[in-house]
């Protein structure tokens, strides 16, 4: 039985039978297994024409060679499909081959030329270029003269180390290369370091020795500040040496002053060199055993209050300006607060040294001065029985004398105090006496100062007597009531300033 023709067995394939290039031969004249080569035409494009055996198409099922990229024609060539890429086709290095002779998907390597520079020439497959690969010179993948580090950064290239780079040169690398190489700065023979080319160009990094980021002999502390290195504490700094650190370092290290064995302190080289800072022990900025109050002024340290201070005499220097509590060595009841510096300068116990006044008396004076004007802290003097007599506190507004009778000085003076009181009353003065326990009242208006002394309470009691004794304006009464409602002294700072002034004047006069 005869075999059926291609037209009957493969009617769709028969439609691609070339209408003119096969002469009188038709799809009805050949069978699907025929080895005869004939021409075919694909409906995709007018130039999709090719020659192939009937068997290859009928039995093997192979399609259009143009569609499959096995044959180059005008419609599937690079020149037609990618004209912009074709503009970078090298005009001379590809011989007779043109963009119209290749398809975009071929892996064939050809030469290209970028418009950015005459030496922007490189070899790459057409497929890679079609997939987006750009100029190898512009992207820094290939080094040529125009994109070399040498060309783009001539000043930096001058710092290329002449001997330590094993023969490689600046014109062999692009500016963004990650290659680490040796550099040499003109500022010093030992200004040598390793860094990538990209670090130097991208981050604009300079010489790490000049910038103090790397230590070498020429920029070490030992070289730049040899005198300062004599105070280097070699024991406490262990492995850190003047050769391994620079003057501008902010790292805190130990120093030792030749003045004393305990003159040791922490400071950065930068602090010492920039601010010219010296030994803080010598300047009393740091307290150690050799410069503490207990060592320099042991007698004063004995009057350091045992319970009222957070610090002790070993923790402050003799030049300290902090205020601390003291306890008089002559009288346990004498406690006061003043600066260490003032004590060193001669300020002694204010209770013992404020004669003829006392701190108790002055406390009342300064508290009353918050309410009444023109009270002189030095007291007041008036003539009684032909003699000039001192009054402890005088309030001009009330013509009121206030006498403070300390228990120690007035224990056997009751009659004398009474006589002075009567003379004041006869002269027209008003009077309040403050009697310190265990002294008893002389008059009903007297105020008893209980032990231990409480200046605020005594002042409150005096004010209560004043409000009972005098007719005061409402504004002053309100101020007194407000004062009495507070628990703390209201003019303690003014009192301390005055006492410091008096004691300083007395110390200078000694």
pLDDT digits (tens, 9 = 90+) for 48-81: 988 889 888 876 778 888 888 888 888 889 998 8
Determine the pLDDT at residue 510: 58
What confidence category does residue 1 fall into, taking pLDDT thresholds of 50, 70 and 90?
low
- Whole-number pLDDT of residue 347: 80
pLDDT tens per residue, range 18-34: 999 999 999 899 988 88
Band the pLDDT of 309: cuts 50, 70, 90: very high
For 185-244, what is the HEC assignment? CCCCCCCEEEEEHHHHHHCCCCCCCCCCCCCCHHHEHHHHCCCHHHHECCCCCCCCCHHH
Looking at residue 355, its pLDDT comes to: 67
Question: In this structure, what token pair is assigned to residue 455?
Answer: 């200046």
Burial code of 154-172, b = ≥16 C-beta within 10 A, e = fewer?
Answer: eebbebbeeeeeeeeebee
pLDDT in tens, 119-149: 999 999 999 999 999 999 999 899 999 999 9
Cis peptide bond upstream of 321, omega within 30: no
Q: What mean pLDDT comes out for the span 212-227? A: 94
* Res 499: pLDDT: 86
DSSP-derived pairing of the beta strands 37-41 and 49-53: antiparallel
Mean residue pLDDT of the chain comes to 92
Exposed e or buried b for every residue in 8-34, given b needs 16+ CB within 10 A?
eebeebbebbeeeebeeeebeebbbeb
pLDDT digits (tens, 9 = 90+) for 239-251: 999 999 999 999 9
Range with the largest mean pLDDT of 61-70, 156-165, 447-456: 156-165
Structure tokens belonging to residue 322: 């902090």
At residue 138, the 3 state secondary structure works out as coil
Q: Where are the domains of the chain?
A: 6-59, 78-131, 148-203, 226-275, 293-345, 359-506
User: pLDDT digit string (tens) for 325-377?
Assistant: 999 988 888 898 999 988 888 788 877 777 678 888 999 999 999 999 999 99
User: What's the pLDDT score for residue 330?
Assistant: 82
Band (506; pLDDT cuts 50, 70, 90):
confident
């Amino acid at each position: 039985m005869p075999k059926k023709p291609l037209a009957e067995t493969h009617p769709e394939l028969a439609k691609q039978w070339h209408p003119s290039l096969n002469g009188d031969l038709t799809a009805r004249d050949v069978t699907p297994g025929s080895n005869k080569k004939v021409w075919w035409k694909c409906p995709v494009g007018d130039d999709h024409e090719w020659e192939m055996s009937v068997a290859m198409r009928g039995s093997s099922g192979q399609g259009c060679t143009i569609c499959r990229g096995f044959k180059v024609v005008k419609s599937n060539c690079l020149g037609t499909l990618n004209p912009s890429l074709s503009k970078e086709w090298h005009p001379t290095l590809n011989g007779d081959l043109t963009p119209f002779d290749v398809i975009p998907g071929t892996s064939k390597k050809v030469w290209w030329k970028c418009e950015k520079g005459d030496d922007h020439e490189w070899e790459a497959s057409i497929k890679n270029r079609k997939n987006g690969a750009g100029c190898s010179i512009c992207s820094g993948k290939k080094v040529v003269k125009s994109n070399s580090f040498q060309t783009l950064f001539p000043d930096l290239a001058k710092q290329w180390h002449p001997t330590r780079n094993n023969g490689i040169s600046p014109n062999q690398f692009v500016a963004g290369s990650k290659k680490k190489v040796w550099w040499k700065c003109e500022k010093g023979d030992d200004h040598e370091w390793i860094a990538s080319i990209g670090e130097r160009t991208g981050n604009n990094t300079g010489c790490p020795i000049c910038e103090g980021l790397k230590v070498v002999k020429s920029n070490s502390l030992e070289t730049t500040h040899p005198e300062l290195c004599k105070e280097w504490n070699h024991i406490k700094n262990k492995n850190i040496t003047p050769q391994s650190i620079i003057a501008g370092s902010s790292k805190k290290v130990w120093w030792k002053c030749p003045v004393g064995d305990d003159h040791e302190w922490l400071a950065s080289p930068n602090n010492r060199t920039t601010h010219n800072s010296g030994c803080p022990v010598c300047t009393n900025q740091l307290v150690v055993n050799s410069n503490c109050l207990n060592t320099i002024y042991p007698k004063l340290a004995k009057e350091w209050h045992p319970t009222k201070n957070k610090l002790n005499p070993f923790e402050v220097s003799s030049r300290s300006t902090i205020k601390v509590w003291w306890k008089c060595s002559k009288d346990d009841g004498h406690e006061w607060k003043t600066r260490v510096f003032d004590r060193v300068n001669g300020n002694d116990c204010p209770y013992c040294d404020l004669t003829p006044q006392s701190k108790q008396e002055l406390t009342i004076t300064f508290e009353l001065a918050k309410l009444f004007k023109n009270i002189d802290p030095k007291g007041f003097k008036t003539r009684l029985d032909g003699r000039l007599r001192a009054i402890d506190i005088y309030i001009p507004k009330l013509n009121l004398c206030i006498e403070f009778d300390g228990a120690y000085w007035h224990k056997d003076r009751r009659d004398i105090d009474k006589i002075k009181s009567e003379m004041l009353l006869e002269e027209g003065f008003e009077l309040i006496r403050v009697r310190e326990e265990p002294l008893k009242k002389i008059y009903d208006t007297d105020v008893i100062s209980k032990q231990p002394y409480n200046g605020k309470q005594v002042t409150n009691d005096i004010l209560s007597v004043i409000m009972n004794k005098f007719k005061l304006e409402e504004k002053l009464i309100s101020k007194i009531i407000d004062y009495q409602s507070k628990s703390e002294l209201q003019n303690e700072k003014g009192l301390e300033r005055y006492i410091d002034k008096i004691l300083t004047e007395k110390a200078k006069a000694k």
